[in-house]
């Protein structure tokens, strides 16, 4: 069974869309362990996948749109890295991270501290914006310190090809796909991108 963690170099970089595309391409299931803010990303993914019933509820669904540790504190709970029970499915499980790689769950533990326990492969989403190169490099270094190996990188937005190659060398990884700007991601567009990425994803996974 494949587990794929979708991490981002920052918040709002396209993790939800990428997670939905991966679930579509691999006939997989979607799970976001910690949801901060409403509407829930799970609802959007459920509406846009071609097969329904493939999204699991979050372990922690918090209404406050902020860091997990702060949202949890404001709602009178605590999240620890060992608090998660993964869904058991006979298909790839796509796990969407919350915020950036080191988004805090509590005063001492980060989201990565939970995810590295799950024996998953990792995909990193990079969105092109001013400062994203620094965020990418810092994220990759944090992954290396935790011995997290990357299955691949997804680039979101219009970027420079030479710069993207530089980033892939920095991460010692490959490009799994590129997302171009869309005014709106519809189920049809999502399905089409999933078909474009499928062969590369299967090759990366050794299928």
Domain boundaries, given as residue ranges, for the chain = 3-204
User: What is the structure's pLDDT at 187?
Assistant: 96
User: What is the structure's pLDDT at 183?
Assistant: 87
Classify residue 181 by burial, with Cβ atoms within 10 Å: 0-12, 13-18, 19+.
Answer: exposed
CA 89 and chain centroid, separation = 18
Q: Give me the CATH topology for the region 3-204.
A: Rossmann fold (3.40.50)
Q: Are strands 93-96 and 3-8 parallel, antiparallel or unpaired?
A: parallel
User: What is the structure's pLDDT at 33?
Assistant: 98
Active-site hit among 32, 52, 170, 198: 32
| Residue of 182, 194, 205, 207 whose CA lies nearest to 23 | 194
Q: pLDDT band at 1, cuts 50/70/90?
A: low
Q: Looking at the whole model, is its pTM more than 0.85?
A: yes
Q: pLDDT band at 7, cuts 50/70/90?
A: very high
List pLDDT tens digits, range 10-66.
Answer: 999 999 999 999 999 999 999 999 999 999 999 999 999 999 999 999 999 999 999
Q: Known catalytic residue: 198? A: no
Sign of CA dihedral 96, 101, 106, 108: positive
Identify whether the C-beta of residue 21 lies closer than 8 Å to the C-beta of residue 190: yes
List pLDDT tens digits, range 98-111.
Answer: 999 999 999 999 99
List pLDDT tens digits, range 148-194.
Answer: 999 999 999 999 999 999 999 999 999 999 999 888 999 999 999 99
């Amino acid at each position: 069974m494949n587990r794929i963690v979708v991490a981002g170099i920052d918040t709002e970089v396209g993790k939800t869309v990428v997670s939905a595309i991966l679930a579509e391409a691999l006939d997989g299931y979607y799970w976001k362990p910690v949801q901060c803010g409403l509407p829930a990303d799970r609802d959007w993914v459920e509406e846009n996948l071609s097969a329904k019933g493939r999204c699991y509820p979050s372990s922690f669904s918090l209404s406050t749109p902020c860091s997990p540790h702060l949202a949890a504190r404001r709602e009178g709970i605590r999240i620890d890295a060992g608090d998660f029970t993964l869904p058991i499915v006979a298909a790839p499980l796509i796990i969407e991270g919350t915020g950036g790689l080191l988004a805090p769950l509590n005063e001492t533990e980060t989201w990565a501290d939970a995810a590295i326990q799950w024996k998953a492969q990792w995909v990193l989403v990079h969105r092109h914006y001013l400062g994203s190169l620094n965020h990418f490099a810092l994220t990759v270094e944090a992954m290396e310190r935790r011995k997290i190996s990357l299955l691949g990188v997804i680039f979101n937005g219009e970027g420079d090809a030479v710069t993207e190659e530089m980033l892939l060398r920095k991460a010692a990884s490959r490009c799994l796909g590129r997302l171009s700007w869309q005014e709106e991601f519809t189920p049809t567009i999502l399905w089409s991108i999933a078909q474009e990425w499928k062969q590369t994803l299967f090759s990366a996974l050794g299928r």
